[in-house]
Amino acid sequence: MSFLGNIFKSDKLKEPVDLSLIGTDMHSHLVPGIDDGSKTIEESIELIKSLYDFGYKKIITTPHIFTDYYNNTTEIIIKGFDNLKLAISEAQIPIQLEVAAEYMFDDSFIKKYRSGELLTFGEKYILLELPAFTPPNELLQTIFNLKIDGYNPILAHPERYSYWHYNMEHYASLKDRGVFFQINLPSLSGYYSSQVQKIAEQLIDNNMIEFVGTDLHNNIYLNEVDKSRFSKHLEKLVISGKLLNKTL
Ligand SMILES: [Fe+2]
């Protein structure tokens, strides 16, 4: 390519990726008022309508269960979700809704797991996030135990754990243990940082991604989801045939 050709070569698509090809979003914070996501039922309705307009057919929303910040229980989540479901049906938005949770990997997660009260979806999938600054010591052993018990752990946004950014072997070791990976659409628009975007793209290039999620909290995230539709890596991921979102 000529010098001028390189200057004008865009890393963005001209036409957005059709998100109906993803089908199901399985990571969002849309049960109002119980975590750092949507604050009101009206905000949730608007956000869900926007996901529907992007082409999503189904949403599995996943409130935080993170004892130090959002001490949600299964009962709190189900009660809030039932209200949301009713409001969406009254607003006549023809989208399927389910609820599960995004579990922070902490002591209370391990206790809940031992007592058998985990919220799962699909093939006993469980959405897990890790602490921001240090990987937990018990991670590999707990992953092993979860798999033995028939759970399928999905690691939420692996691209955001900066302690692994300079050693991709950590990601490979989790893949070897049967962990599914879910990247966030806002990572592909550069919302968190260019480094997070780079790692998300690298994980796609290495064929390590099975799920993609919006991690939708509010309108700021919605704008990022909108922008991410022009990512060449998203297009690559969608046409790879590796995504499992539609199986949910
Ligand atoms: Fe999340």
* Averaged confidence pLDDT in the chain: 94
Could you tell me if residue 148 is inside a domain? yes
Residue 228 dihedral angles phi and psi, to the nearest 5°: -65, -20
Ion ligand 1, residues whose Cβ is below 5 A away:
102, 215
Mean pLDDT of all residues in 231-248: 96
- Return the percentage of the chain with pLDDT > 70, whole number: 96
In a domain, 183, yes or no: yes
With respect to residue 7, please indicate whether it lies within any of the assigned structural domains.
no
The answer to whether residue 18 scores a pLDDT higher than 60 is yes
So what's the pLDDT on residue 159?
98
What is the pLDDT, as a whole number, of residue 4?
52
111 has pLDDT over 80 = yes
Mean pLDDT (whole number) for 210-239: 97
Cα 10 to ligand 1 centre (Å): 30
- Residue 70, in any domain of the structure: yes
Q: How far is the CA of 149 from the centre of ligand 1 (A)?
A: 24
Q: Is the pLDDT of residue 87 over 90?
A: yes
Q: Ligand 1 centre from 157 Cα, in Å? A: 8
**How many A from CA of 129 to the centre of ligand 1?**
8
pLDDT score recorded for residue 117: 85
What is the model's pLDDT at position 9?
A: 58
Mean pLDDT calculated for residue range 38-47: 98
Sorted by sequence, the CB contacts under 8 Å of residue 47 that are 6+ apart come out as 28, 30, 38, 216, 218, 219, 222
What is the tally of structural domains in the chain? 1
- Alpha-carbon distance values, 235 to 158, 163, 225 (Å): 19, 28, 14
The whole-number average pLDDT for the span 196-212 is 97
Ligand 1 centroid, distance to 213 Cα (angstroms): 9
Q: What is the pTM of this model?
A: 0.94
Distance 91 CA to ligand 1 centre (A): 25
Query: In the prediction, which pLDDT does 44 show?
Result: 98
What CATH number does the domain containing 63 carry? 3.20.20.140
Ramachandran sector of residue 102 (left: φ over 0; alpha: ψ -120 to 50; beta: rest): beta
- The confidence band for 69, taking pLDDT boundaries of 50, 70 and 90, is confident
Residue 30 lies in a domain: yes
Centroid of ligand 1 to alpha carbon of 155 (angstroms): 11
Q: Which structural domain, as residue segments, surrounds residue 117?
A: 15-247
Is residue 201 assigned to a domain? yes
